[in-house]
A and B are shown apart, each in its own frame.
Chain A
Amino acid sequence: MALLGAAMALAAVMPTGASSHREAPLITEDPVADNTDVYAFVSPDRADTVTLIANWIPFQEPAGGPNFYNFGEDVLYQVHVDNDGDADPDVTYEWRFDTQIQNPDTFLYNTGPITSLDDPDFNFRQYYTLSVIRDGVRSVLGSGLPVPPNNIGPRSTPNYSSLADEAIVDLDGGVKSFAGQRDEGFYVDIGSAFDLLGLRPFNPAHVAPLPAQPGVDGTGGFNVHSVALQVPKEHLTGGGDGSGIIGVYSQTKRRQTRVLSIVPGDPAPLSSGTFVNVSRLANPLVNEVVIPLGKKDVYNASEPSGDAQFLPFVLDPEPARLIPVLYPGVGVPAAPRHDLATIFLTGIPGLNKPPSVNPSDMIRLNTTIDPTADAGEGNKLGVLGGDNAGYPNGRRVEDDVTDIELRALAGATPFTPDFNRSPNNVLGDGVNDNDRAFLKRFPYLAAPWPGYDHPHHKVGALNAQPAGPPPPPMPSTTAGPTTTTTTVAQIPGCQIRRPNVPPGFRLPDLPPGCVYV
């Protein structure tokens, strides 16, 4: 309670969002192409390599059968590396997937327990081809590489970790690859963040106040589909500017034209034409809340080399303009925010800024900085926490990018010393760790939640069965998100100072008992 009280006293919050889940209007309609997170870090257990991870298909409810979740066969998945700061890709890794159904005469994803990747009971299989482009030439690194099944439950995937391990393949040149379902490693209180940009621990400070609560991991209990690659550093930095600093971003592409079939017996759509961008991602948050609605699809369709068009949104981000409206009296640095442009677009001088750089949204990783901790054990605040191996120098799976970016947006960095103080430098959404422990080894993201038993089935009264004998106790592997059941009706009477709002901005309705004055 003392902690909560202190938190209330801070009276300052900043907006946040999911890293890049459903972040733009068009991509929300295309989950298999919706890129949710990108990670790039020097591998803690193989420090001569860099690990690149990208995730797709947000908010996978683990029980989403019978067809579960799969990579798109007609989608081109890419992770790009710029090793000379010019905002053009120098190395590109590409994934194409192919589905093979063993028995089309059953509805079952599997016809018995799947005990190996070549188990005859594994009906709905995917394989992938991994390629790399260097110097304008595409080379196949591996093909026919297996994707493990979704984690279904104890009858279907009784030893899931073993299955997933089978799908980790060693390729020529010291490259390690994995593609398949994983636990969603990004943790954030998304439910509060998009409820008019609230943070539960600071609920009383919001212009529409609520009682303070612990953060709720809104992405907890969900899965994603990941591609993970571990490559020797020189594969990425070779031919670059010699600094060892790389810029990493991902893109998802679809063929230009998709035609739905009018033949009832052959309903599969046809895709044709060149591949075009439908999703792009580097730093979490940028397209999520910095780019305005009217430009989000443009961002997804564009190349980093054209990011000058988005520079005004970074230099004068909308979240900063909203802060005095939603949190009267809270100060943040004035525009132009060259501090944010440095963090998001160029890299930080002396840390991860290339010698010559074209400002563009990339995760910039100085590969010469060694890991500081085992995987999952780094300081979650990264550079802000004194750990130079973490975000924004690359991004590790454990980095609390939400809190880091909140504080950066609030100016709580040495770039803007007047704001690098309380409350700006203690902001957070109250979610400080992932719901599953990260692995100490490749592919680092935890095993996916099984459909049979996961936190979304443990939401309490909503699922309670009123009749019949009590069910036998379920084996539980983890606790679900912690929530507090305080309701709005319990708020005591309050008066809220009416803020000056821009034309057209509708102030939120206040809870019962609260009034604007």
Chain B
Amino acid sequence: MGVGGAVLVQRAGGPAATAHHPPSVTRFDFFAGQLPAVSPPPPADPGGGAAADEPAGAEEALAAYLTFLVDGALDDAYRLLDAPSRRRYPTPGSWAHAQADLAKPVSFTLGSSRPAFGGGGDVVEVDVEATHEPSLDATRGLVPARSRSLWQVRREGDRWRVAVAPEGTVPILPPDADAAAAVRAWLGPLQACDRAGSAQYEAGAYLYGPAVLVEGPCSRPGDWRVGAPVGLDRVADPRDFLAAFGPAVNTWARAVPVEGPGRPFLAVVAPGGDTWKVMGVAVRT
């Protein structure tokens, strides 16, 4: 015990600190040898590969990357990621887990390509049209059945490497005219108070918006009609949808007016493959 401690003990008038308590661990058979030094893991593979496997150009690199994704060859796809993407996903394991947040292509077609503005010839933009297994969830957002997207491929040394996700994606939507029919189909079982039946026309297990609105067609039987679809920007209070999916929802969701003997409302639909599906309801002003 140091002098400071002794001074304090004396001032406090307590007994001298001579007692030695037994070790606090009594039951666990601790590792007996010397602890191994804890050191960082070796640096990750910088993304090499035999030169013969190297894609010859930007388009070839992107085609190889997307082919690996289609085939589920994630380790091979990871090898073709560019440096910024590898910083975001520093290990193949983190990359594999992150597939839940990315839109896996089922098939793809490369379109035209061009040098990216400001890229000095080392960055190439490539148009891609792809098909996906469609889905909708509040983390990944919309995965459309079909999309057009713009990918960037950059030169890193003597190799071409691909950005983890496209710069922009435009979903190819079902015709707007089909939205009213989708809501009409959903309303049918709803009017018969058959929630299980109406659920098959819904985009997910959870409907966004005030649930009380959905009860109207069941509790107030009569002639319920649907109108022509409008953009989500016409919804008076779209916060539920914006909070869940961000402003991108404005580009791919549609609102279909529903009116009848009860309170009128808007059925909000999202692309569910090649058809529209109901994802929620909103107050109609």
Contact = CB atoms under 8 A, between A and B. Distances in A.
B41 A358 contact: yes
A421 B23 contact: yes
Chain B: interface size category: 35 or more
B79 to A, nearest CB: 17
B168 to A, nearest CB: 12
B150 interface: no
A6 B138 CA distance: 57
Contacts of A496: 4, 7
B26 interface: yes
A102 B212 contact: yes
A305 B97 CA distance: 13
A298 interface: no
Contacts of A135: 96
B139 A275 contact: yes
A204 B138 contact: no
A11 B9 contact: yes
A329 B206 contact: no
Interface stretch (B53-61, B121-129, B175-183, B242-250): B242-250
Interface stretch (A37-45, A107-115, A283-291, A340-348): A340-348
Interface in B1-40: 1-9, 11-17, 19-21, 23-31, 35-40
B94 A89 contact: yes
A388 B29 CA distance: 10
A96 B100 contact: no
A204 B239 CA distance: 56
B98 A136 contact: yes
Contact of B8 (A8, A140, A342, A420): A8
B200 interface: no
Contacts of B26: 386
Contact of A5 (B13, B24, B91): B13
A328 B5 contact: yes
Nearest to A1: B14
Interface in A325-346: 327-330, 336, 338-339, 341-342, 345-346
A489 B30 CA distance: 48
A9 B14 contact: yes
Interface of B is mostly: loop
Contacts of A86: 91, 93
Contact of A6 (B13, B15, B247): B15
Nearest to B18: A9
A264 B210 CA distance: 23
Given A136-B74, A136-B99, A143 B204 contact: yes
B51 interface: no
B205 interface: yes
A499 B138 CA distance: 56
B97 A327 contact: no
Contacts of A133: 97, 100
B93 A100 contact: no
Interface string B232-262: 0000000110111011100000000000000
29 contacts: A8-B8, A11-B9, A86-B93, A88-B94, A89-B97, A92-B100, A100-B240, A129-B138, A136-B96, A142-B205, A144-B207, A205-B8, A209-B11, A272-B248, A275-B139, A305-B93, A306-B90, A329-B3, A330-B5, A350-B31, A359-B38, A359-B41, A381-B24, A386-B26, A412-B24, A415-B35, A422-B21, A496-B4, A496-B7
Given A11-B1, A129-B137, A136-B100, 4 more contacts: A138-B139, A351-B31, A420-B23, A425-B23
Interface of A: 4-6, 8-12, 73-74, 76, 86-90, 92, 94, 96, 98-102, 127, 129, 131, 133, 135-138, 140, 142-144, 204-205, 207, 209, 212, 255, 268, 270-275, 303, 305-306, 308, 311, 314-315, 327-330, 336, 338-339, 341-342, 345-346, 348-351, 358-359, 381, 383-388, 407, 412-415, 417, 420-423, 425-426, 492, 494-497, 499
